Amino acid sequence: MVQNSDFKAIVPKEIVHAASADHVQAGLPIPKATRVQIFSPDDWEGFTEEWASSLTGYAIVRRFAGAGDMGLDVAGFTDAAGFSAPWDNYQCKRYDHPLRPADIHVEIGKIIYYSWLGEYTVPRRHYFAASRDVGTTAAKLLLDPKKLRESVRQAWEKQCRHQITTTADVALTGSLLSYFDAFDFSIFGSKSVLELIAQHETTKFHAIRFGGGLPLRPAPHVPPAEPAEHESRYIRQLLDAYGDHLGENVPDLAALALKQPMQRDFSRQRERFYSAEALRNFSRDTVPEGTFDALQEEVFQGVVDICESSHSTGFERMKATVSQAAQVASTSNPLAPATRVQDRQGICHQLANEDRLHWVSTDE
C-alpha cells in the first residue's frame, strides 16, 4: 500500500551559480521549448520541481519518492487526506525522443495494475508530459479513450506484462482483465512543453532559468495616512533624528506636524520606504528566494561607512546615508532592471527598521 512517507514535499532546488542581471535580461539565445529539450537530467528535474510549485487547485502537491515509481510522479491532492479524495497525477518524462505509444503503454499499465492492487485510488486525471513533448501518434491515442484502450490491450503482452514490475508477471487475465475492461481511459491526457513553460512563467524561478527579463513591476502603494505597525521602528528613528537636529524632543507624529520642513522630509522618507517594500513584494513572485536580501546587503555595505562616520546631527547622518544609497550600483543583482533610486533609499529605512542602521548614535 502506498504510504504518505513515499512522497516528498515539492521543494525546488535553488540555482547554485550566482545569478546576474544578464541572466534575467537575456538568458541564452535559444527558444524556451528548444532549451527544455536539451536540459540535463538534473535541469529537467529542477524544471519540473519548479513547474510543480505553480500547480493550483490542490491542498498539497507532492513528488513520489518511494521504491519503484508505480506510475506515480507529481501528485496533486485536492485534500490533505491524499488518495481518499480526488487527485491528479502528472508523469514527467525526459527521453531523447517524443513520447511514443510504447512509452505511455507501460505507464498506463502501472496505473491500472497498482490501482487494481489497491496501492492507491484511480486518479481523477493522469497527464503525460515530456521534455521532447508527446509524439503525434501517442497524442492522438490520448484523445480517443476507445482506441487507447485497444492499443494498451494489444501491447500488454509485449510492453506491459514484464515491464510494469520486476517482481511479478502481470498477465492481463482474470480479475485484472475485468478491471481493465471497466477502467475509464478518459482520465489519460497530456500537457505540452509549451503548457509547462506557460505555467512555469508564473513562478519566481522563471526569469533565472529562461531569461527574457522580469515582468512589469506594479506601482508602489501610496503610504497610508496612518502609519502601519510594521513602520514603527524606522519612524521612531526618524523622529529621534529630527529631534536631534532641532535640539528638542519630537515624541510623536502630532509634534512633528508642527515642524513643516521636517514633516515634508518625513513624507518623502515614507514614500521611499513603501517603494522598497513594493520591490520586496515584487521579488517574492519573480526571483528566487534570497535575491532581495542580497540587494539589501549590497545597499547596507554601500552605506554603512557613511552612516557610521561623524555627523553633526542624526538628521544629517540620515540624509547622508540615504544620499549615498542612491549612488550604490546593484547591477549584478537580478532585481537590478526593476530597481529604482527610491528603492535603494527606502532600503535604508528597512535596515533602520531592523536596527542595522541607526541615525542617532549612542556614542555621540
Q: Is residue 51 part of a domain?
A: yes
My answer on whether 126 and 249 are in the same domain is no
Residues of the chain with pLDDT under 70: 4, 13-29, 67, 362-364
My answer on whether 137 and 243 are in the same domain is no
My answer on whether 273 and 195 are in the same domain is no
Torsional class of 205: left (φ above 0), alpha (ψ -120 to 50), beta (otherwise): alpha
Cross-strand pairs, 75: 62, 89
- Supply the CATH number for residue 26's domain: 3.40.91
Model confidence over 98-137: pLDDT tens digits? 999 999 999 999 999 999 999 999 999 999 999 999 999 9
Backbone angles phi, psi at 247, to 5 degrees: 75, 25
Q: Is residue 215 part of a domain?
A: no
pLDDT the model gives residue 207: 87
Number of structural domains found in the chain: 2
My answer on whether 104 and 252 are in the same domain is no
What residue spans of the chain are helical by DSSP H? 21-25, 32-37, 41-52, 101-117, 136-142, 145-155, 174-182, 193-200, 206-210, 232-246, 253-256, 260-286, 291-307, 314-325, 341-353
pLDDT the model gives residue 130: 95
My answer on whether 203 and 243 are in the same domain is no
Distance CA 165, CA 72 (A): 13
Model confidence over 149-190: pLDDT tens digits? 999 999 999 999 999 998 899 999 999 999 999 999 999 999
pTM of the model: 0.70
Q: Is residue 169 part of a domain?
A: yes
My answer on whether 317 and 194 are in the same domain is no
Q: How far is CA 253 from CA 75, 115, 256, 354, in A?
A: 53, 66, 5, 20
pLDDT the model gives residue 362: 64
My answer on whether 90 and 159 are in the same domain is yes
User: Which residue range forms the structural domain that includes residue 289?
Assistant: 229-353
pLDDT the model gives residue 28: 45
My answer on whether 204 and 308 are in the same domain is no
Half-sphere exposure of 333 (CA within 13 A, CB side): 25
Distance CA 155, CA 151 (A): 6
My answer on whether 198 and 284 are in the same domain is no
My answer on whether 233 and 348 are in the same domain is yes
Q: Is residue 295 part of a domain?
A: yes
Domain end, chosen from 175, 210, 245, is at 210
My answer on whether 43 and 120 are in the same domain is yes
My answer on whether 195 and 289 are in the same domain is no
